[in-house]
Amino acid sequence: MEPNNLDLIDSVKEIIIGARQRVYRMANSVLLDTYWQIGKLIVEDEQMGNTKAQYGKATLKRLSRALTLEFGKGFDYTNLTNMRNFFIAFSILDALRQELS
């Protein structure tokens, strides 16, 4: 290959790699926000303004069944519990974003 072609190839590769990295970061950010919002809704529904939840695992199991039917894997009881715990651990989303950036 000619020297100019090597420079061109390297430049195009850098652009592609950079774009892929930005897409990966953006996708992770969107997923993080989605899981946080789901966790928030679960906690708010469970607690209904109280400090602690008033009932057990039944709601998460029902939610898991409904979401799995509609969206497939990824919303099983364990994952929903993790989303709930994620929100509890990081209840201020902006603080979480700053910590991760």
Q: What are the boundaries of each domain within the chain?
A: 3-100
In whole angstroms, give the CA distance from residue 59 to residue 3. Answer: 64
Question: What confidence tens digit (pLDDT) does each residue in 41-91 have?
Answer: 999 988 775 656 555 568 889 999 999 999 988 999 999 999 999 999 998
Measured distance between the N- and C-terminal CA atoms of the chain, rounded to whole angstroms:
41
Report residue 60 as tokens.
Answer: 């998460």
Q: Find tokens 């789901």 and name the residue.
A: 38
Size (the chain), residues: 101
Question: What confidence tens digit (pLDDT) does each residue in 14-40 have?
Answer: 999 999 999 999 999 999 999 999 999
Angle at 99 between CA 76 and CA 73, to 5 degrees: 15
In whole angstroms, give the CA distance from residue 35 to residue 23. Answer: 18
pTM: 0.77
Q: Which CA distances in Å does 99 have to 22, 32, 50, 92, 93?
A: 18, 13, 28, 11, 10
